[in-house]
């Protein structure tokens, strides 16, 4: 039987099983099925997926994220803050500001440390990608998808699509408590117009710097929070004239709040917490 040391961490309730690949070895062919197994709440550890903290040739560390269905994502906002906490607290990095490699590029993390523990992390998530071909979504490649009519099951909606290195689609709702997260979410996640699938977000605008947010994540379903999704919601809200550019926006997720700014220079800055739940050994 194989065994694996792990750390379970969460960012606003979006939990993953973190594996330190500086010390562990897992064959590439097992990663997807292992993510499914460890995520299972009954027969595994229970999480929204698995995140690998890996050596990198271009940064101090590389993050790989697997959803609970075993699919590999290209980015994860809550995961980045947890990886930043892990590598700082485990001495893999010594400076409070450092780069993390992801499958969608390099991002920069700045940790806030109190009594040796990381309490909050700001990540410069880079620039949102707005062309249809970059989401990706079928249709005219160079066009943006902003307040575009979108029909599902005979019902008409309006969508805005944003890539934060991974695909997001935003639906505005009048009341977040009745948002059709578990009904519309899974239908849109696998809609053919999004050839790589999509993370589906529901947003209620409170005012020009505050949003309510719920999510159906590609590959994981309902989660308490999605960092890249919250960044995408802020971008969508600026594009739709609902919130201001270059101003801090508070995004209220099911698991707590993120503070996000789409800066004048074009990058997205996200600040929020990262927490360690437990460590252990998993047998497989």
Ligand X SMILES: N[C@@H](CCC[C@H](N)C(=O)O)C(=O)O
With contact defined as beta carbons under 8 Å apart, do 21 and 90 qualify?
A: no
Return the residues of window 174-213 that contact ligand X according to CB under 6 A.
199
- Write the interaction track for ligand X spanning residues 155-174; mark x where CB under 6 A is met and - where it is not: -----------x--------
- Ranges assigned E (strand) in 125-164: 148-152, 155-163
**Residue 78 engages ligand X in binding (rule: CB under 6 A):** yes
Name the residues annotated as catalytic. Answer: 76, 226
Nearer Cβ to ligand X (132/218): 218
Nearer to ligand X, 79 or 180 (CB): 79
Is 273 a binding residue for ligand X by CB under 6 A? The answer is no
Backbone angles phi and psi of 176, in degrees to 5: -65, -25
What is the spatial distance between Cα 247 and Cα 178, in angstroms, rounded to a whole number?
28
How many residues contact ligand X, by CB under 6 A? 19
- 89 marked ligand binding residue: no
Q: Please state, in angstroms and rounded to a whole number, the distance separating the CA atoms of residues 42 and 38.
A: 10
Please list the residues that pair with 101 across neighbouring strands. Answer: 62, 106
- Nearest-Å Rg of the Cα atoms of the chain is 18
Question: What is the rounded distance in angstroms from the CA atom of residue 268 to the CA atom of residue 183?
Answer: 30
Q: Out of 51, 76, 170, 188, point to the residue binding ligand X (CB under 6 A).
A: 76
Nearer to ligand X, 107 or 238 (CB): 107
First to last CA, the chain: 6
Site for ligand X in 46-75 (CB under 6 A): 65, 67, 73
List Cα–Cα distances, 145 to 22, 42, 128, 134, in angstroms. 40, 40, 13, 11
Residue 199 Cβ vs ligand X, minimum distance, rounded to whole Å: 5
Distance CA 40, CA 52 (A): 17
Binding of ligand X at residue 269 (CB under 6 A)? Answer: no
Figure out which of the listed residues 14, 102, 163, 224 binds ligand X, where binding follows CB under 6 A.
Answer: 14
Task: Consult the annotation and say whether 218 binds a ligand.
Answer: yes
228 is known to lie in a ligand binding site: yes
User: Is residue 217 a known part of a binding site?
Assistant: yes
Please report, as ranges, the residues that interact with ligand X according to CB under 6 A.
14, 65, 67, 73, 76-79, 166, 199, 217-220, 223, 226-229
Residues annotated within a binding site for substrate: 14, 67, 77-78, 166, 199, 217-218, 227-228
């Amino acid at each position: 039987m194989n065994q694996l040391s792990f750390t379970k961490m969460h960012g606003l309730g979006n939990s993953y099983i973190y594996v330190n690949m500086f010390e562990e070895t897992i064959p590439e062919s097992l990663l997807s099925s292992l993510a499914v197994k460890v995520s299972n709440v009954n027969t595994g550890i229970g999480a929204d997926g698995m995140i690998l903290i890996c050596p990198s040739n271009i940064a101090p560390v590389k993050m790989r994220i697997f959803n609970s269905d075993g699919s590999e994502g290209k980015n994860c906002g809550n995961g980045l803050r947890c990886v930043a906490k892990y590598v700082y607290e485990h001495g893999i990095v010594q400076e409070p500001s450092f780069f993390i490699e992801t499958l969608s590029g390099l991002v920069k993390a700045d940790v806030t440390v109190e009594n040796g523990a990381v309490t909050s992390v700001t990540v410069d998530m880079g620039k949102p990608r707005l062309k249809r071909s970059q989401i990706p979504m079928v249709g005219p490649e160079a066009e943006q998808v902003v307040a575009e009519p979108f029909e599902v099951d005979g019902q008409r909606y309006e969508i805005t699509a944003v890539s934060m290195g991974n695909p997001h689609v935003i639906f505005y709702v009048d009341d977040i408590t009745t948002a059709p997260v578990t009904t519309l979410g899974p239908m849109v996640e696998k809609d053919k117009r999004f050839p790589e699938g999509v993370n589906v977000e529901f947003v209620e605008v409170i005012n020009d710097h505050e949003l309510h947010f719920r999510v159906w994540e590609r590959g994981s379903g309902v989660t308490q929070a999605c960092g890249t999704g919250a960044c995408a919601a802020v971008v969508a809200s600026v594009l739709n004239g609902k919130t201001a550019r270059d101003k801090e926006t508070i995004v209220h997720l099911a698991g707590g709040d993120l503070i996000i700014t789409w800066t004048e220079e074009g990058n997205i800055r996200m600040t929020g917490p990262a927490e360690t739940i437990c460590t252990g050994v998993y047998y497989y």
